[in-house]
Amino acid sequence: MTWRGTLGARPEGKDRTHFRVWAPRRRMVEVSVQGASRPLPLVRDARGYFEGVHPAPVGARYKYRLDDREEFPDPASRFQPDGPHGHSEVVDPWSHAWRDGDWKGLASIQGQVLYELHLGTFTPEGTYEAAIEKLPLLAELGVTCLELMPLHTCPGRFNWGYDGAQLFAPHPAYGRPESLRAFVEAAHRLGLGVVLDVVYNHLGPDGNYLAQYAPGYFTKKYENEWGEPTNFDDGEDAGPSREFFVENACAWMAEYHFDGLRLDATQSLYDDGPRHIVQVITQAAREAAGGRGVLIIAENEPQDELCVRAPERGGWGADGLWVDDFHHSARVAATGRAEAYLQDYRGNAQELLSCVLRNSLYQGQYYRWQKKARGCPLWRVPASACVFYLQNHDQLANMLGGHRLHHVGGERRARVLTMLWLLSPQTPMFFMGQEWFASSPFHYFVDHEPELQAVVRQGRDAFIGQFESARHALEHEGFEEHVDERAFRRSQLDWTERERRTGPLTLHRELLRLRREDSVLARQDGGQLMGAVLSESAFLLRYLGGEQEGDRLLLVNLGSELELSPCPEPLLAPPRDEGWRLGLSSEEVRFGGTGSCSLDSLRVETSWRVPGMTALWMTSPRESRTGPGPRMAG
């Protein structure tokens, strides 16, 4: 049965529309349709919902008039062509003739390669149509699922996405709703899933009119660092408030054929009720998808295992969990700086190894930055349920200048960390342009009215100032952190670079091929991994493939050349009566390196010598899928 929503303007028959809105503190709600001679009344029910069917064709512009006074946009508007302050438009979400009937969705997070992108900066044009042209390149790379940053309508011409004011209406800057449906359909034709990032823990500071209809959409019971928290458990208003956000999640699944959601900051979705709102949204979204496989991915700062625990065991039932620990440790390894919220990381071999072997680092230990224990055990969670990344929208925009990993750590270190990231069993997530080491940074950017823009700018300076080096640059070096159109334009990808930056592109493509085709890697089985620290900056991972498939070995050295003599570490020992074969090196010329090592330089009779700033992937001779390679004597 096809899911149909109840909120907003829903076309019914020729030139007639059913309107429904929740406004429990209002005595009267009317629909004011542009061009109509008078407002059209809605009838109130016992729960405070106002509804009615009136003459209004698809494409009509309207607002709701409250108590015969002010007019406001529809909270469940499907399109705001003039932004969050303008009139809502009647849209028929069921008029699109979908041609993706053979698409079954995403049955599992196992085997997925995620790719986070911001529609406005993904291409110079910043539209759905322009983005469609780039999708074949992502499919060819080996990406399986796009993760779109929030599309909620925001004020201004551009926004990084997390100031949403109209949650049901995709931002008009990217195109019309029908163009978004065409984008999703084009992705499905290429075998790409599409997951949407949604923000339900707060709304933006401008253009949010929910409280005009019902203050109960929000609560003062909790605190939220981004604004007034949304209400899921506070009083009688919590029920309709929950229904609003659940219906929003379902609308993206049913009306746009999205393949899942990434839920922003779930630690700030406060709910003490018997069924947590994340669990409710997860179940409802799956049902609304009409049989297609759906992925729900949670961002959760404490990295709480509850997010991905099955509902029958008291969990929320999400498929994936963002894990910041891997990024934080890798960032410190690349830069050598442990400032602000990175202060509890060292970026050394033990830390990176432990994160890969145990899915995260902080699993209940004391965390100095927060002055309390952080995290819970994730080491029993399947590795595929943990999403690892070297960069994402937050971790780039949070840093001074929005600089990417290869900018701050150099391309050699970035190649080493890329091999570790993509050859680990956790689910990887790219950030747009990462595959060719894009030169463009990614900033925080907003387009508010001047007074609010100045306040936001001050807040950003204060946030960036948590980093001592950034504070010095702002206060003493004359550096200016822009959050306006300059930041937006600088964040746009230059796709002509992709044709020139063939080294990093080849590296990512080859690692993703290996990840798919190597039978041991493809299992994403963290239980088959063993590891050992070789020095402060070097470590190894051994992938146990059994008698038939043989073992694999990944050597990671982020320091200078390492000579191991003596070399008692048993995990370095080659398979019985066989030697290792060198499969890939991060320093191969085709990847942009200065040349790989030879096996003789790696291993001599008396010692192992591991090249500096290099990652090496080795296989046993019985494993043939990676292609022939020189044998390393045992």
Q: CB burial class (10 A; 0-12, 13-18, 19+) of residue 314?
A: exposed
Q: Which of 30, 233, 264, 305 is catalytic?
A: 264
CA distances (Å), origin 7, targets 12, 49, 77, 165, 305: 13, 10, 9, 16, 33
In which residue are the tokens 């007034």 written? 228
The phi and psi torsions of 270 (rounded to 5 degrees) equal -80, 125
Q: Which of 299, 411, 518, 588 is catalytic?
A: 299
Residue 490 token pair: 């600088």
Q: CB burial class (10 A; 0-12, 13-18, 19+) of residue 424?
A: buried
- Residue type at 520 in one-letter notation: V
Helix axes 238-256, 277-288, angle to 10 degrees: 30
Distance of alpha carbon 379 from alpha carbon 305, whole angstroms: 10
- Is 299 marked active-site? yes
CA distance between the termini of the chain: 62
The pairing of beta strand 61-66 with beta strand 29-33: antiparallel
Containing H/E element for 211? helix 210-213
Among left, alpha and beta (phi > 0; psi -120 to 50; other), residue 376 is beta
Distance of alpha carbon 526 from alpha carbon 530, whole angstroms: 9
DSSP 588: -
Residue 361 token pair: 């680092």
In which residue are the tokens 């994160």 written? 355
- Is 578 marked active-site? no
DSSP lists the bridge partners of residue 91 as none
Q: CB burial class (10 A; 0-12, 13-18, 19+) of residue 256?
A: buried
- Is the N-terminal amide bond of 566 cis, ω within 30° of 0? yes
Distance of alpha carbon 467 from alpha carbon 308, whole angstroms: 32
Tell me if residue 456 falls in helix, strand or coil: helix
DSSP 587: T
DSSP lists the bridge partners of residue 147 as 116, 195
Instruction: Write out the catalytic residue numbers.
Output: 264, 299
